[in-house]
């Protein structure tokens, strides 16, 4: 079995890739996909720690984050669709109504 360090580094890489996607995508749906990747990386960390400690609570926490992420995606996509109906665009750079 590879060491704990290997799991944590892979998760950190996925997290950094997701952050890159959030920072560079212009489409709101693309930004949501980057957030998905970041939350997945966190789940890998939680399950790896649960395995190393031999404790079920880490698995429970990972299950909670999975369910909360799914709720977040459902609401996020509903917001994207509403924004599209009102503004006819989901380009994040053009959604600057609140810019001072």
Partner 1 sequence: MTPAVLGFWATAVVLLGASLAVVLTPNLFHSVLFLAVALVATGVIFLFLAAPFLFGAQLLLYAGGVVVLVVFAIMLTEKIVGQRISQASHGLVNGAVVAAAVFVGIVGFLVQAGPPPAARPPLPDATAALGRAIVGPYAVAFELLGVLLVAALLGALYFARED
- Residue 99 is a binding residue for partner 1 (CB under 8 A): no
- Residue 94 is a binding residue for partner 1 (CB under 8 A): no
Tell me how far apart the alpha carbons of residues 62 and 47 are, in angstroms, rounded to a whole number.
Answer: 7
- Residue 86 is a binding residue for partner 1 (CB under 8 A): no
Q: Which two tokens stand for residue 5?
A: 């360090």
How many Å from the N-terminal Cα to the C-terminal Cα in the chain? 54
- Residue 66 is a binding residue for partner 1 (CB under 8 A): yes
Give the nearest distance from C-beta 89 to partner 1 in angstroms. Answer: 7
Give the nearest distance from C-beta 99 to partner 1 in angstroms. Answer: 17
Tell me how far apart the alpha carbons of residues 93 and 27 are, in angstroms, rounded to a whole number.
Answer: 9
Tell me how far apart the alpha carbons of residues 92 and 29 are, in angstroms, rounded to a whole number.
Answer: 9
- List 78, 95, 97, 100, residue binding partner 1 (CB under 8 A): 78
Give the nearest distance from C-beta 98 to partner 1 in angstroms. Answer: 18
What x-and-dash track marks residues 21-50 binding partner 1 by CB under 8 A?
Answer: x-xxxxx-xx-xxx-xx--x--xx--xx-x
Cβ(36)–Cβ(17) under 8 Å?
no
54 strand-pairing partners: none
């Amino acid at each position: 079995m590879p060491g704990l360090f290997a799991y944590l580094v892979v998760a950190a890489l996925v997290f950094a890739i997701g952050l890159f996607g959030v920072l560079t995508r212009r489409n709101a749906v693309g930004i949501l996909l980057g957030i998905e990747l970041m939350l997945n990386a966190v789940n890998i960390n939680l399950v790896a720690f649960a395995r190393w400690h031999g404790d079920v609570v880490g698995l429970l926490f990972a299950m909670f984050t999975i369910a909360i992420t799914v709720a977040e995606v459902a609401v996020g996509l509903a917001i994207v669709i509403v924004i599209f109906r009102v503004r006819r665009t989901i380009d994040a750079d053009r959604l600057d109504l609140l810019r001072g």
